[in-house]
Amino acid sequence: MGEHETLLRLKNAIIEGLSEDATYLIKQALDEQIKPKRILNEAIISGAEEVGKKYENGEFFLADMLLAADAINDSMDLVKSKLEEGTHYSQGKLLIGTPEGDIHDIGKTLIVALLQGQGFDVIDLGVDVPPEKFLDMAKKENPDIIGLSGLLTVTISKMTEIVSLLKREGIKAKIILGGGILSEESCEHIGADAWTKDGWEGVKLIKELMGVV
Amino acid sequence: MPHDWEASTRRIRATFAGLSDIDRVPFFPLACEELICRISGKTLRELLSSPKAYANAAIATYEFIKADTLSIPTAYAGPAEALAFAEVNNKENVIKWSDYKVFMVKQGDICKSEEDIERLEIPDHSKISLWDTCLSATNLVKEKTRFQQSCSLGIWSVVQELRGVQAYRDMRRNPELLLKLCEKVYQSQLDLYNFFIEKVGASRTIFFTGYAFNKHMMSFEDAMKYEGQFIKQLQKETKARIILHNCGTNPYFDEMCNELELLAVNGSHPLDIEYWVEFKKNHPEVTILGANIDVSRELLNGTTRDVEKIVKENIKKLAPGGRYAVSPICCLPWGVSLNNIMTIPKAIKKWGTYPLNFES
């Protein structure tokens, strides 16, 4: 099989969310001496972009996005370890969590998978996270972006508390909010830099905030 | 002046029936556990300590905000059902209680594995103390106010609580397994419905939370497969009319009205009021409870003038011809000022009294 065909099959496996096929093809591509950076750009990132386009066109839904994200992450794990020494591929560092009082995590799980697939280093604090933990981890990890994800309307007041604590303590990271409960007005009220109501839109916004579009 | 629940009943009935003999547009808020705790000053555990305590606090809350509807919240058909499943499957540790808001379930912990789904026991609601309290309280509310009560159900909201994000992987990788879970949840919902009839009496309407019907979550075909077909079955078995609640940001309201026989839709998105004007034209038999009064906008961040303005706009555009009730979506969170909440009934009285007049 030629290099082009291997990369194309890998890209298609990612789009279709076939993790096992994707990891098999990554190994094959590496055996064929295709450079890891080429695998990354021409198959994985290109596949991820195609997945995003299909979602925007209404061809793909949450289930397809999630499976594609799984395939992307499995592939990334294999390729990252083969990148040339000293090459640290990262689009930025993001700290994310669901604020205290809310333990929903479907939206957060999806965006974490999508961001990792796009080359971000993501620190997932989990659910029901108190404001102080966001602050401690922000100080320790110095992320570029902090994401607060929530499903319930009751989470809005906790988001406000967290954002004001982070700002008061001088945290410079941009803050993005995620969840169907949000609006332009509530984002402004809470004092965040951006908001999103779905995972893929969130990825695009984060890339914009990072200047990596 | 004491709250006149008889008048509220007449308003709601006439609105659903599209009749013109109505004094004003009804106010149809969703007072969840958090608002009842806030108004009553009691913790959720205190409310759940007896049906009387819960019923009195719920009545006091709905009367305080001058609502035309009244119910005992049952955790939007998600956590409370997950709690029932957790209890009968010996997984109570996945429930997290809070003082002044609804308890929650760690999503996906009850049905972590395929085996969990295969072995999942369906709850007998009469043996679940929480449900016994909630439905006994519902019956007390009905007895005290004579206000008709609706049973509150849902399928996908419960599936998400039980299976978590894995449900979306199952949708493509193991649809049969996912359908098996949906079927079990449906059986549980039927058991709940029958327990409701036993405790409260016949439910002519079902308030159904249809969370599958969101455009960014799944295709309409999948939403019908994993939730819609069960709504159809439910309608066939119970003969009850469905009020469909969806507080998501991209709901399939139009498509659902074409596929299912709905009494009313309860949602706030899309936020463009013209969508709702068009919806009313296209589905004249379906009552709109909501339109674009979203709790995260004017109510949370605006002034009383902003709230009055949006209530007026909704009434002006949607109340002529009836089949419309003002309903902020969704639950009213702690951060919303009571002044803003109380502006809604004031604005309804001012702008929603028939014959409608928008001149003053």
- The pLDDT tens digits for A164-199 are 999 999 999 999 999 877 888 888 889 999 999 888
For residue A180, which of B159, B215, B50, B351 has the smallest C-alpha distance?
B215
Q: Which of B34, B168, B335 sits opposite A66 (nearest CB)?
A: B168
Asked whether the predicted pLDDT for residue A151 surpasses 80, the reply is: no
Q: Residue B160: its chain A contacts at CB < 8 A?
A: 106
Instruction: Provide the CB-side half-sphere exposure for A69 (13 A, CA).
Output: 27
Asked whether the predicted pLDDT for residue A84 surpasses 70, the reply is: no
Most confident of the ranges A10-19, A106-115, B102-111, B267-276: A10-19
Inter-chain touch B333–A101, beta carbons under 8 Å:
no
At A45 the pLDDT is 87
Collapsing DSSP to helix, strand or coil, A88 comes out as coil
pLDDT digits (tens, 9 = 90+) for B222-244: 999 999 999 999 999 999 999 99
At A87 the pLDDT is 65
Q: Residue B301: its chain A contacts at CB < 8 A?
A: 185-186, 188-189
Q: Which H or E element spans position A145?
A: strand A145-149
Inter-chain touch A185–B296, beta carbons under 8 Å:
yes
Asked whether the predicted pLDDT for residue B276 surpasses 90, the reply is: yes
- Residue B56, by phi and psi: left (phi above 0), alpha (psi -120 to 50) or beta? alpha
State the best of B95, B97, B172, B216 to mutate against chain A, taking most chain A CBs within 10 Å: B216
Give the Cα separation of B181 and A142 in Å (integer). Answer: 42
Question: Residue B277: which pLDDT band, with cuts at 50, 70 and 90?
Answer: very high
A51 token code pair: 């997945």
Give the Cα separation of B107 and B213 in Å (integer). Answer: 19
Inter-chain touch A63–B218, beta carbons under 8 Å:
yes
Q: Which of A64, A153, A198 sits opposite B296 (nearest CB)?
A: A153
Asked whether the predicted pLDDT for residue A88 surpasses 70, the reply is: no
Asked whether the predicted pLDDT for residue B286 surpasses 80, the reply is: yes
At B360 the pLDDT is 66
Locate the chain B residue with the closest alpha carbon to A57: B216
The complex scores an ipTM of 0.90
Inter-chain touch A67–B172, beta carbons under 8 Å:
yes
User: pTM score > 0.95 for this model?
Assistant: no
Q: Across residues B288-308, what is the average pLDDT?
A: 90
Is B30 in contact with B13 (CB distance < 8 Å)? no
pLDDT digits (tens, 9 = 90+) for B69-122: 999 998 666 889 999 999 999 999 999 998 998 898 889 999 999 999 999 999
Q: Across residues B214-225, what is the average pLDDT?
A: 94
Q: Which of A105, A156, A180 sits opposite B165 (nearest CB)?
A: A105
pLDDT digits (tens, 9 = 90+) for A17-31: 999 999 999 999 999
